[in-house]
Amino acid sequence: MTFNSDGISRRSLLSMIGAVAGAGAMYSAMSTMGLAQGSNYAGRLDLQGDVNGTRVLILGAGLAGMTAAYELRAAGYQVQVLEFREKAGGRCWTLRGGDRYTELGGDTQDVTFSEGNYLNPGPWRIPSDHYAVLDYCKRFGVKLEPFIQVNYNAYLHNTASFDGQPQRFKEISTDFRGHVAELLAKVVDQQALDADVTEADAQLLMDALKRYGALNDEMEYVTGEASSAYRGWAVPEGGGTTGRPEPSEVHPLSVILQSNLWRNLTAGDNLHMQSTIFQPVGGMDQIAQAFEREVGELITFQAKVTRIRHEGNTVTATWVPTDGGEEQTETADYCICTIPFSILGQIDHDFSPRMSGIIDSMYYASSFKCGLEFKRRFWEQDEHIYGGISYTNLPISLISYPSNDYFSDGPGVLLAAYSWGASSYQFNALPPADRIEAVLDYGSQIHPQYRDEFVSGVSVGWHKVPWVLGCYGIWKDRDADYMDATVMDGRTLMAGEHISYLPAWMEGAILSALDAVERLHVTVTES
């Protein structure tokens, strides 16, 4: 997409085109501008009209809350934000050396990573179709760099296949594709698809399969130059007297199928993982800090909301400072509430029975991440893996290699576990030191260098994060409840990743906030 650089917002431009030439022309213009796919971000807000000093109270200074604060203040509203934590960003969060994290129950971890190393416990990737996040990064000067999702030299690993030895992604990927292409070519050759494929198309399909599957001239997927050009050579291509390569042995189809390693071949094909995707240079919280630079003066930190009441045309939040002190109140004409429903359901509030029921029915996913620092980047030095992700059936689920500082001599940090569900619950139940031990045990099965090179680690089980009690909101019945949760209840609109069809993504949080801001503005200016 192209970013707006010339004053007129795309939103107003599209409105003009829509008004003058109709919806068809507008859609055509949107497609040209690259807006008609992916995220439904419709460009920067341009809120017009007199807001008459309307006060808006925003609960929560995560990305949704800060987006709302930024946009509403720009439109002339009086904005106040209450935040439970001592800093802004919510789940857009980075742990680095010098940080101290205390989880529920009191276990405290001191992060001792070297300068420049970090773990993003929450979001860690920005898809290229998440236009709102990318636009705010552009606007606020957050420097982005490519995040390597797919690395053909990373591993696929299953404890029950290949004697538990990790296999290079390129070998499994090429073999799977080659065998499937050969099988399909046989079917076409036997004219078994005549009902579905015309004769002319059948010839084209054969050409495509030969190319797609790295088949030889006999339309076979076999050990040889064609397959090795994709899966790698037994003796690599080189120069001089030893330059002649030797092909590598392809694995039989049955071995590939029974290995179950094909399960992770398509991870990078998912819409939100397709190259190119990004990460902020220096950690995901660079986005949080950028928002905080814009709206930090509006935020009251360490404020635990204890009560929400609607009276007449106002809404009042009662809060207590988490570092001690008197109970206080904040009153406004409207409220945008981004407090996760896992927390909001425990706050004394007067939302409608319908809204209360939805709040209480939403539970939060269990997720666990662990970052380990190693003395040297052995995955690069020993195994030639530069960024990307290895997948495994072990409880750690994956290992992600840093997409930055390649070839540096200093210590590097791996995302050494990213687990969900049953595995995550069990990691959460271990004390932090035991989690590190478990992650080291599992990771050593893929990288035997783990124990020798280990320096330190930090882990986050999201159900034990004191200010959210879980990873992201899960609807019991989204079809039935979603739209009702977006309705203004009293004077309050809900926003956050949970009020989006992009749950757990920063884009969902921001889009829900923009939508709430626009609807609130219509209410204020048209009433």
Partner 1 sequence: MNRMMTVMAALLTLTPPAVAQEAGQASMIDRAGWFENPSRLTQSGGQDVYEAICAACHMPEGEGASGAGDYPALAGNENLLMPDYAIYVILNGQKAMPPLGGVLDDTQIADVVNYIRTSFGNDFAEDPATPEHVADAR
Q: Which residue intervals of 80-168 are DSSP H helices?
A: 131-140
Per the structure block, which two tokens stand in for 468?
């959210």
Minimum distance, C-beta of residue 166 to partner 1, in the bound complex (Å): 18
Nearer Cβ to partner 1 (253/455): 455
Q: Which residue has the tokens 């919280």?
A: 285
With respect to partner 1, which residue has the nearer C-beta, 231 or 463? 463
Question: Is residue 431 near partner 1 by the rule CB under 8 A?
Answer: yes
Angstrom distance (rounded) from CA 36 to CA 31: 5
The token pair at 42 is 């419709």
Question: What is the smallest separation between the CB atom of 320 and partner 1, expressed in angstroms?
Answer: 11
> Nearest approach, Cβ of 87 to partner 1 (angstroms)?
14
State how beta strands 55-59 and 78-82 pair: parallel
Q: Which x/- pattern, by CB under 8 A, does the window 86-125 give for partner 1?
A: --------------x-x-xxxxxxx-x-------------
- Choose, by CB under 8 A, the member of 173, 428, 449, 500 that binds partner 1: 428
Give SS3 for 258: helix
Contact code string over 350-389 relative to partner 1, x by CB under 8 A: ----------x--xxxx-----------------------
Q: How far apart are CA 288 and CA 69, in angstroms?
A: 13
Out of 123, 345, 443, 490, point to the residue binding partner 1 (CB under 8 A). Answer: 345
Residues with Cβ within 8 Å of residue 194, at least 6 apart in sequence? 202
Shortest Å, Cβ 430 to partner 1? 6
Residue 402 in contact with partner 1, rule: CB under 8 A: no
DSSP single-letter state for residue 499: G
Binding residues for partner 1 restricted to 455-474, rule: CB under 8 A: 455-458, 461, 463-470, 474
| CB nearer to partner 1: pick between 304 and 519 | 304
Rounded-to-integer distance, Cα 183 and Cα 221, Å: 9
User: CB-wise, 260 or 275, nearer to partner 1?
Assistant: 260
Tell whether omega for the bond before 318 is within 30 degrees of 0, i.e. cis. Answer: no
Binding segment for partner 1 (CB under 8 A), chosen from 26-34, 278-286, 381-389, 431-439, is: 431-439
Distance in angstroms (rounded) separating the CA atoms of residues 352 and 55 = 22
Indicate the residue among 144 and 499 with the shorter CB distance to partner 1: 499
Using alpha carbons, select from 397, 378, 374 the residue that is nearest to residue 386. Answer: 378
110 vs 194, beta carbon nearer partner 1:
110
User: If binding is defined by CB under 8 A, does position 445 make contact with partner 1?
Assistant: no
Least gap, CB of 346 to partner 1 (angstroms): 4
Provide Rg for the chain, Cα atoms.
Answer: 26
Stretch that binds partner 1, among 68-76, 233-241, 398-406, 424-432 (CB under 8 A): 424-432
**Interface with partner 1: number of residues (CB under 8 A):** 56
Q: In whole angstroms, how close is the CB of 429 to partner 1 at the nearest point?
A: 4
Task: Find the shortest distance in angstroms from Cβ 440 to partner 1.
Answer: 8
**Helix boundaries (H) for 470-505:** 478-486
Q: Quick one: 149 or 419, whose CB is closer to partner 1?
A: 419
Find the part of the chain contacting partner 1 (CB under 8 A) among 116-124, 172-180, 345-353, 494-502.
345-353
Residues 322-341 vs partner 1: string with x where CB under 8 A?
-----------------x--
Do 81 and 299 contact (CB within 8 A), yes or no? Answer: yes
Question: How many angstroms separate the Cα of 491 from the Cα of each of 76, 173, 305, 370, 486?
Answer: 18, 54, 17, 40, 12
| Residue 360 to residue 363: CA distance in whole angstroms | 8
Q: How far apart are CA 202 and CA 209, in angstroms?
A: 10
Q: Using omega within 30 degrees of 0 as the cis cutoff, is the peptide bond preceding 276 cis?
A: yes
Nearer to partner 1, 193 or 430 (CB): 430
What are the C-alpha distances in Å from 520 to residues 75, 256, 292? 11, 55, 22
User: Could you say whether residue 348 binds partner 1 (CB under 8 A)?
Assistant: no
Q: Are 420 and 366 in contact (CB under 8 A)?
A: yes
Give yes or no for a contact between 182 and 215, defined as CB atoms under 8 angstroms apart.
yes
Does position 346 interact with partner 1 (CB under 8 A)? The reply is yes
Binding residues (CB under 8 A) for partner 1: these are 84, 100, 102, 104-110, 112, 304, 339, 342-343, 345-347, 360, 363-366, 393, 395, 421-423, 425-426, 428-434, 436-438, 451, 454-458, 461, 463-470, 474
